[in-house]
Amino acid sequence: MEASIQEVARLTGTTSRTLRHYDAIGLLEPSRVGDNGYRWYDDRALVRLQRILLLRGLGLGLPDISRVLQREQDEVTALRHHLDWLRSEQRRLARQAASVERTITARQEGGPIMAEEMFDGFDHTRYKDEVEQRWGTDAYASSDAWWRGLSEDERAGWKATTARLATDWAQAAEAGTDPASDGAQELARRHVAWLGAVPGTPGHGSAPVKEYVLGLADMYVADDRFAANYGGQAGATFVRDALHEYAARHL
């Protein structure tokens, strides 16, 4: 398959100007340029563009996207991680859509509105009880206030950072990386810094408390909801072992 720049712009909802800019900064080169100056894109270029658009959807800027693409050479593996995230979002959005439909039906027919159903798929506080039980009410209240105070752009940036970290973990696990290796320990360092950036977490503002990091690491393996973020039990086990190693060295 080969598509002209006009066709690609139409199919993706972007513009020819944007595609030329991607070329100018070395992010997406056309597969060839015709004698008339028209840019053409083959399968390889179109797959790269798909990945660019997916990363833009996560809130990443162009410099970050370029670094991710340079680091993630295995297209199929990277796309599988994107697919996992998209399916997760699909399920969440489906729940939101269903809850809105129930609200519309209730308003039109005069039926009762069930709060538990009305906000299904919307609640970012679904782990509230677990957080309070493990680390106290102040921990949840502080982190909740922090999240609510973020702008939409800040929230998008945070989600992008989270998704990028999870992807890097999963790829390292699939590659059979040693949890004690430099690469795994750098991921652990990033993970610990990510945890410590949230107000209300034990040790916020400095290094997170060792017991907190170890407890979370163990939870990633014990709880399938968290393990899914790292590609399943094998990925979660790799994350746990790397974090345990990091905590023993630095916390």
Residue 230 near residue 169 (C-beta atoms within 8 A): yes
pLDDT for residue 160 = 81
Instruction: Report how far residue 160's alpha carbon sits from residue 156's, in angstroms, rounded to the nearest whole number.
Output: 6
Give the mean model confidence (pLDDT) for residues 7-21. Answer: 91
Task: Tell me which of 79 and 38 has the higher pLDDT.
Answer: 38
Percent of the chain clearing pLDDT 90 (strictly above)? 27
Residue 189 near residue 199 (C-beta atoms within 8 A): no
pLDDT for residue 28 = 94
Neighbour count for residue 227 (Cβ, 10 Å):
20
Please check the confidence at residue 134 and state whether its pLDDT lies above 60.
no
**Least reliable range by pLDDT among 58-62, 109-113, 204-208, 214-218:** 109-113
- Distance set, CA 123 to CA 63, 118, 139 (Å): 32, 10, 18
Task: Tell me which of 54 and 113 has the higher pLDDT.
Answer: 54
**Least reliable range by pLDDT among 26-30, 133-137, 178-182, 245-249:** 133-137
pLDDT for residue 89 = 65
**Least reliable range by pLDDT among 22-31, 37-46, 64-73:** 64-73
Please check the confidence at residue 114 and state whether its pLDDT lies above 60.
no
Task: Tell me which of 121 and 146 has the higher pLDDT.
Answer: 146
Residue 34 token pair: 């015709």
Q: Is the pTM of this model over 0.75?
A: no
Close Cβ partners of 140 (under 8 Å, ≥ 6 residues apart): 125, 128, 131, 132, 200
Task: Tell me which of 54 and 176 has the higher pLDDT.
Answer: 176
Average pLDDT score over the chain: 79
Q: In the beta sheet, which residues pair with residue 3? A: 41
**Least reliable range by pLDDT among 80-84, 213-217, 232-236:** 80-84
Q: In the beta sheet, which residues pair with residue 33? A: 39
- Model confidence at 118, in pLDDT bands (50, 70, 90)? very low
Residue 195 near residue 220 (C-beta atoms within 8 A): no
Close Cβ partners of 92 (under 8 Å, ≥ 6 residues apart): 121
How distant is the alpha carbon of residue 122 from its chain centre? 17
Task: Tell me which of 75 and 141 has the higher pLDDT.
Answer: 75
pLDDT for residue 8 = 92
**Least reliable range by pLDDT among 35-39, 150-154, 211-215:** 150-154
